[in-house]
Structure 1
């Protein structure tokens, strides 16, 4: 081919990028393109900032190989076709995605390419194993994780792609400028981009041997914290799984959970709005006061409030805290999981549809959990996974003076001590 436009979406990297690597190897000129889609922007200021940093890093990496990142704004299909015609491209490449919106975008792009007689190809890259590549006998997707994990572990994984040595842009193309950082409330967040993501992964891999023992330790914060880089494709999930080693190990199992929900979302595109289990009884109550207290981290249950404060402070939350806070909202307060999903989607740097919706439905008992009525007792969880109370004290300064495990149950403290704390009683006592 003479010229191929590579449309970047949630794959902001040059390492193990099948679409980019293939285009660079087969075409005389490659035009890397990112389109700021107004229908997707403005939902989360901290995610928008992470995106901008990731794009700046991607542009620097492409420039280091003689290319550049072309930036446009508007409808991605319209802008991709406009650019393809401008540079007389004979091919368009994109990484396949699973959401309703992404698949509709891909269908429209394919149709427009056919209309303009431009070759179109969708590549893998957002998961380790393609969503439809591993299926059970007699079904289109796995509904239970454990059998999926066995099939996923035994599957043949594709070979990683090396970054292209050189990117050759057509002469005279207008590349565009990165817009100013978006306005809006934005918590302290991780540095965006492939460079930061790969550095984070390298550092964390030196401690991976202790992951199985420490990943639920709330105060220890021993998780990888690479989920935002996976969400934006700054890291290849395949590269992460390969670098981690043992396919049956506890960390690779977590990578598999990510693929699991992608194949669920691929088969059930309404995962973010509709109960996955048709038999699920959704008898939610609606209480704005309780919901606002949960959002603000003022429920009176320290372990829940610490998790919610961490979310607002960092745009991230420990995996165990996510289970506790989600379980409290749905099983203790009886509030609709969709309200929790929306709040997480607003603040989480790693908030994407398959994982956010899949995990919320799992906790709420409407999703893929084989024990839909399971409950997470927040106090019991606190004593088990934050035994010294250090996690709670880190995010609830008003309880910093409460020593030891008593911090998890401040309502049991002497009345004089309780009066000296600027901390509310549990919602059930108000």
Structure 2
């Protein structure tokens, strides 16, 4: 009997899974393995919301494998060491894993290859699992990656995306190797109250509902804060409970302006993956330095804490920050507004904001989180690095009747219409709102400070 190991990482699904498909095609039995990586836990990346969602995903993956005659093996520790132990216990000749883009994932692959091949076991690293188009598959003539989205989107759109694979009908797992108990969400403390449910079944249920009722209106509605017209599939893409290949095919088969806009957003995700793959230091260093001397000290710390708590005095910013804390997720327009406010209006280092997001976001992804923060800070790939979003203007545009603000900032629930975006202008009884703060900074003062710091005056 030939045995292969399938090491699951950020691809926690059975549908459209190239490593699993390849292992089943070449081996009599497979070992579906997930390692609770001690390196990730020690790095601080294993935030409660992601651990809880991960637990959902692992339990669902195990259930899906058991329906097919198999099971998921869970181990804890160093990934290379645990894979090596499984190989020794089963005599596996092959290990299959999805390709990653972060510096950590690449080092893990290098360590796996060195350890396995020295013992005669082959490592197979599969592209087209986490992204539809592998980072580096399309490049401009004079560089190893695209630094501008639009030309990347044109080249990316012209690539043939492979067909999506069906889930296997049967999975045979050897009896010998043992497993830890699959973790449960209830064992994780500090989880956001409104955190969504994880797992492939839930992902596919959401996808079906989204295609039927949300996709067609996506182009018009995706920036509407109160309309909540985004797909909310980003956590499932992050954990791999949905395949980007399948999402692209399903959207394109539906057709229409909404589907085209949605595919464009999927491409933004892959754009950031190819940037990070080529420039791994961009997860912690400016992609393009602006020689910023970010604010620090007591005043800056006070402003940062007000931003974290949703107490800046700018209602749309505060609403988005409170949504993040409650759900472990934030509307994309809210992410742009809150990141721009911290980095430009408050002139605080983007890394401080990016870390706070990673502490809470269930879809916290190094490539997209860090590079979107850099985009808003003007240190990334944005061709207009010094643009500043006005939270009042943005609030009136994307939450025109104030419903989003009133949902998340109950102190302002009695304020009707667009007036909720400028509570400092209220007069009369509605002005009595002792629980809501005054703005931490006047927008004109914040803009002037930023322009001076960037040498724009």
- Alignment TM class, shorter chain as reference: over 0.9
Deviation at 1:69, TM superposition (A): 0.5
- TM-score by length of structure 2 reads 0.92
What is the Cα deviation at residue 421 of structure 1?
4.2
Match of 1:40 in 2: 40
How far apart, CA to CA, are the structure 1 residues paired with 2:108 and 2:75? Answer: 16
Name the counterpart of 1:205. Answer: 211
What is the match of residue 194 of structure 1?
200
Secondary structure (helix, strand or coil) at the match of 1:30 reads strand
2:55 aligned residue (48, 52, 55) = 52
CA deviation vs aligned residue, 1:145-184 (integer Å, no higher than 9, x gap): 0000000000121222221121111133323312454433
Aligned to 2:368: 355
Q: Which residue is 2:189 aligned to?
A: 184
| Structure 2 partner of 1:172 | 176
Q: 1-side partners of 2:52 and 2:37: how far apart?
A: 15
The question of whether the paired residues in 1 share the 8 Å contact of 2:89 and 2:176 is answered with no
Of 388-397 and 168-177, deviating more is 168-177
Q: Does 2:89 match 1:94?
A: no
| 2:156 match | 152
Determine which of 357, 378, 381 is the counterpart of 1:344: 357
Please give the secondary structure, in 1, of the residue aligned with 2:96.
strand
Structure 1 CA distance for aligned equivalents of residues 132 and 433 of structure 2: 52
Q: Which runs of 5+ in 1 are unaligned?
A: none
Which residue in the other structure is 2:227 paired with? Answer: 220
Aligned residue number for residue 231 of structure 1: 238
- 1:85 deviates by 1.2
* Bigger mean CA deviation after superposition, 246-255 or 294-303: 246-255
CA distance in 2, matches of 1:369, 1:150: 17
Q: What is the SS of the residue equivalent to 2:281?
A: coil
Deviation for aligned residue 1:203: 0.3
Query: Separation in 2 of the partners of 1:149 and 1:283?
Result: 33
* 1:128 Cα deviation after fit: 1.0
Equivalence for 1:283: 293
Does residue 243 of the first structure (1) align with residue 250 of the second (2)? yes
Shift >2 Å, 4+ stretches: 179-184, 415-421
TM-score by length of 1: 0.97
Question: Could you tell me which residue of structure 2 aligns to residue 375 of structure 1?
Answer: 388
Q: CA deviation at 1:420?
A: 3.5
CA deviation after TM superposition for structure 1 residue 422, in Å: 1.7
**Match for residue 405 of structure 1 among 418, 424, 437:** 418
Work out the number of aligned pairs and report it: 429
Instruction: Give the structure 1 partner of residue 454 of structure 2.
Output: none
Residue 108 (1) aligns with residue 115 (2)? no
User: Residue 12 of structure 1 corresponds to which residue in structure 2?
Assistant: 12
How far apart are 1:416 and its partner, in Å?
5.0
Aligned counterpart, 2:147:
143
- Are 1:274 and 2:285 an aligned pair? yes
- Provide the residue aligned with 2:448 in structure 1: none
Aligned counterpart, 1:327: 340
Is there any run of 5+ residues in structure 2 with no aligned partner, and where?
A: 446-457
Task: Give the whole-Å Cα distance in 2 for the aligned partners of 1:325 and 1:399.
Answer: 19
| RMSD of aligned Cα (Å) | 1.5
- Contact 1:272 1:338 (8 Å CA) reproduced: no
Taking a change above 3 Å as real, the CA distance of residues 112 and 295 of structure 1, as seen in their structure-2 partners, is same
CA distance in 2, matches of 1:226, 1:376: 26
Q: Which moved more, 1:151-160 or 1:383-392?
A: 151-160
Task: Give 2:451's aligned residue.
Answer: none
Kindly provide the CA deviation profile for residues 323-367 of structure 1, in whole angstroms up to 9, marking residues without a partner as x: 011010011000010000000001111011000011000000000
User: Aligned pair 1:422/2:435, yes or no?
Assistant: yes
User: Aligned with 1:398: secondary structure?
Assistant: helix
Report if the CA contact (8 A) 1:192-1:229 is conserved. Answer: yes
Measure the CA separation in 2 of the matches of 1:382 and 1:420: 20
CA distance in 2: counterparts of 1:22 and 1:320, whole angstroms? 39
Given that residues 15 and 163 in structure 1 are in contact (C-alpha distance below 8 angstroms), is that contact kept between their aligned partners in structure 2? yes
Instruction: Indicate if the aligned counterparts of 2:412 and 2:433 stay in contact, CA closer than 8 A.
Output: no
